[in-house]
Copies of this chain bind each other. A is one copy, B any other.
């Protein structure tokens, strides 16, 4: 492997000059030509580790996601990679699997390896001191320490869900919420949902289950406890043979799907009798539609904005505290036309 020294020797200029050429600084035209020729000839490339060591910047960005079994996150990773490539940066991935200690140790490692910044999707608490001096942008959660948060417009999501159910003919709405933290951005969906119902004087109800976190719904199939919880709640929504609601807003597509499966088993027709709207709206691969009608949050927009904010933070040391991304309704067969 050729080094900068070899290039210098080969092209007959000094080490510093070569460095300048590599880094696009000004040198005399013919020096540049010679250096470039040698670079090509020796098939030279910078050693990123040496550069990083010296310059204490690495062009590496770490991305932390909870799982790869959720298409929403993988779509996000995909878009992040696109943005990073554009900027000539590398992407390191950490899959936290909801393991707090793994996140902790990963961030520590990231600090020491001097990645330039971290984009994190995490539902764990993070020790603020860990984040000191480490540019950190998060999705959906606030971590103080001037760490910006990028998030969908969750409030509008809830609002649009209620509105869509209503406009498509439902008048007795249920919001079924599962999720652990009530201080997060996603929790605002409930308020949006409520506000629309109040505005339009629509009858509604909210079921909140705060004991279930992402883990229960992110994986291939719901945990047993999750499923039986859903079943239990829905059983209570029957008045005799009749289901009390004709429109349901679920906190995730997956939950929406479980609800649908349960109701279908109970001979309730979807969407004729009951309409269901979930959240995320990730198309099933090869099918092109989500598993239920949904409020779609754009993984690519989130990634793009997330990176924009992260770069801003890295360069200026400061960035907007919250960036909201618009959402929209998408059909998935569980709502009427």
Q: Contact check: which of B48, B74, B222, B287 meets A257 at CB < 8 Å? A: B287
Chain B residues with Cβ below 8 Å from A46 are 112
- CB pair B77 A108 closer than 8 Å: no
Q: Cβ of A50 < 8 Å from any Cβ of B? A: yes
CA distance in complex: A251, B7 (Å): 50
CA distance in complex: A70, B74 (Å): 9
Chain B residues with Cβ below 8 Å from A58 are 49
Chain B residues with Cβ below 8 Å from A78 are 67-69, 95
Give the contact stretch, choosing among A24-32, A155-163, A181-189, A278-286: A278-286
For residue A91, which residue of chain B has the nearest CB?
Answer: B93
Q: Cβ of A113 < 8 Å from any Cβ of B? A: yes
A residues contacting the other copy or chain, number (CB 8 A): 51
- CB pair B68 A77 closer than 8 Å: yes
Chain B residues with Cβ below 8 Å from A111 are 1, 45
A324 to chain B, nearest CB (A): 25
Q: Cβ of A229 < 8 Å from any Cβ of B? A: no
Q: Cβ of A71 < 8 Å from any Cβ of B? A: yes
Integer count of this chain's copies in the complex: 2
Summarize A's interface: helix, strand, loop or mixed: mixed
- Given the interface contacts A78-B68, A253-B286, does A53 sit within 8 Å of B45 by beta carbon? no
Q: Kindly identify, within residues 74 to 95 of chain A, every residue whose CB is under 8 Å from any CB belonging to chain B.
A: 74-75, 77-78, 81-82, 85, 90-95
- CB pair A285 B75 closer than 8 Å: no
Chain B residues with Cβ below 8 Å from A94 are 81
Q: Cβ of A244 < 8 Å from any Cβ of B? A: no
Q: Cβ of A288 < 8 Å from any Cβ of B? A: yes
- CB pair A70 B285 closer than 8 Å: yes
CA distance in complex: A217, B288 (Å): 12
Q: Cβ of A142 < 8 Å from any Cβ of B? A: no
Q: Cβ of A242 < 8 Å from any Cβ of B? A: no
Q: Contact check: which of B74, B92, B222, B284 meets A284 at CB < 8 Å? A: B284
- CB pair A81 B53 closer than 8 Å: no
CA distance in complex: A81, B49 (Å): 22
Q: Cβ of A318 < 8 Å from any Cβ of B? A: no
A223 to chain B, nearest CB (A): 12
- CB pair A220 B288 closer than 8 Å: yes
Chain B residues with Cβ below 8 Å from A288 are 220-221
Q: Kindly identify, within residues 204 to 237 of chain A, every residue whose CB is under 8 Å from any CB belonging to chain B.
A: 217, 220-222
Apart from A81-B95, A92-B93, A220-B288, 7 more pairs, CB < 8 Å: A45-B112, A47-B112, A48-B112, A69-B74, A85-B102, A92-B92, A222-B286
Interface residues of chain A, those whose CB is within 8 Å of chain B, are 1, 45-50, 52-53, 58, 67-71, 74-75, 77-78, 81-82, 85, 90-95, 102, 108-109, 111-114, 217, 220-222, 253-254, 257-258, 282-288, 291
A–B Cβ pairs within 8 angstroms, 14 of them: A45-B109, A45-B112, A68-B77, A68-B78, A74-B74, A81-B93, A81-B95, A85-B102, A91-B92, A92-B93, A93-B93, A217-B286, A220-B285, A285-B291
